[in-house]
Structure 1
Amino acid sequence: MDTLALVVVIGVALFFTYTNGFHDSANAIATSISTRALTPRAALAMAAVMNLAGAFMGSGIAKTVSEGLIATPTGSTGMMILFAALAGAITWNMITWYFGLPSSSSHALFGGMVGAALAGSSTVYWSGVLEKVVIPMFLSPLVGLLIGYLVMTAIMWIFRRANPHKAQRGFRIAQTVSAAGMALGHGLQDAQKTMGIVVMALVIAGVEEEGDAIPTWVKIACALMLSAGTYAGGWRIMRTLGRRIIELDPPQGFAAETTAASVMYTSAFMFHAPISTTHVITSAIMGVGATKRVKAVRWGVAKNIVAGWFITMPAAAAVAAVSFWIVNLAFG
């Protein structure tokens, strides 16, 4: 039964990674597609490859997820908590994907972990949740908004006398690099989050010791599933990011992607903080768009997206808690 539970939890974790991939593929490539810097299939293929590479760039975020948010639960209850956490995150991912709302898969997972842990009477490290999740959740979009505005302002000043046609063409080429950097950051951030869950499951099952290095097969499996999901594409959300917030041109797309990638790398390597790629790219797009004129940004759409950010964690937590009670009733 313990082995079966482990296999089920790992399987569900990998499925979550797949949904994360197609849910968040828009983050890396929506701007490149909307500015016609890349064709949709070429962009998706590039993003999938860079996601795969990014997953092997570190393990700090995986350690934060596996050791810094909730106490590693034990026995069959522990497996049920992890299963319920993933069920809450997957459910919220599917709901927001259906409505084309670019919510955060990361915060859906963290909300699911907290809700399931509370329902299963496991310890939640509230200081860890505050420092590694809540504060970055509010801070990273503000940083993305400000830096996006400043980067775009600098680009406009530097290229103020450039030939507009040549500049557009040059930035369209540059966007292939910035989109690749964004996809690499997505792999660095999001593949590690699932690695943390799989490691927790292995520790609960007694296969690994807490604090051990992440097994290579876990890295490969999570990276491949994230890449596969990315290649499947998330067209509904792509439309929201690429068109509905603001009509982007190549310089704006380059500025937004460069900003978001920079914030993700800094967060991962310096603070081991698992931030939302969705939050960062969306806020960067808003900051870039505001340089044209404040009214150029469709703030009504932006407001709906921000509202989604606020309800993601509690909504996923509630679904996870209900999932735990159902699973506990059936198998506890």
Structure 2
Amino acid sequence: MTSTVAALVTDPDGRILLTPGRSAGPGLPAVALRPGETPRAAAGRAVALGAAGLVPRVGGPLVLDWAAGSAYHVFEAGEAGASAVRRITAGGTAGFVDLAELPTETDPVEVRRIAAALAARAGESTVYLEDGRPPPVLAMMRRYRIAPRLHGGAAWRWHTGPVPADLPVRHAWVWLFVPDGRVVVYVDVHGTAGLPGGTLETVDHGDPVAAAVREVREETQIEMTPPVHLGYLVDAPPGGPTVGRVRLAAVVTRIGRSAPDPATGTVHRRLLVPPRLVAELCGWGPGADGQTRAAVAAARDRGIAEAPGTAPVTEIPPDGSGILTGVRLLRPTDPT
């Protein structure tokens, strides 16, 4: 693995220092990390090589980008004073460029990195990118305050077909599709994301479908078509009973106003997520590919095409309106 280290330097007017010597054209001052050299030291060396020998007082990391098997770091190198700007520009090779001019001065990946570095500087944070962009799920987690979590569900084994008679069913969750092919995911007050559904209760009489309909209504205030069985997961925890966790699929028909979950008293946020991002967002691991394919196939059988992974993630407003075509707002007077 190779590592490139760059530095963000701006002038008093906020323009960005670009230096020559890169195959893709001008870019941030950058060098290859040497054996035994720290990335922060390399950032100082990058500026010295491209900016008239001037060495900055380097701050912390702003960006870590992973692209084509290589790591690309951007460090904070601060603002150049007026005398430093004169020395740099007098050489005629390096110069300062307005943010609006960057697309004509350097390649698109570098433009994205610089924009991310400026945002990280403003927020006093560090940004992780892949090929100059935040990974879709990471961007979603930040925007909707979804917490990182280690989920035991990554160890559950997926099976198609009916649940064996000797396997007790503990939970039933629903892949709940909207007409544009996205899936409803709820986020609770602790930042945990998951499919709507939940634990079978006495009132469900052992019926996973009844439990799913009740739990979806309580958690998300959503009505749906009769759920169809996709398969089940086997959870065999060490020292505990082995149980089944059923997965169903359905299509949203009506959306109600957000309301407290009777079980917790909290109001969940309701997101619409492309199907291929659901497993990663919920922390199920790559073993969830089978159930994702089954859910997408079930939606396709009902005339709903899969939303691409690049489709936007949006939140259903608390009043349930203004978000979907072909889905009716559930009014308080409507029967459930």
Q: How would you bin the TM-score normalised by the shorter chain? A: under 0.3
Normalised by the size of structure 1, how large is the TM-score?
Answer: 0.22
Compare the two structures and name the one with the higher helix fraction.
Answer: 1
Of structures 1 and 2, the one with the larger relative CO (CA 8 A, separation 6+) is 1
Q: Which has the higher strand share?
A: 2
Larger Rg: 2
TM-score, normalising length: structure 2: 0.22
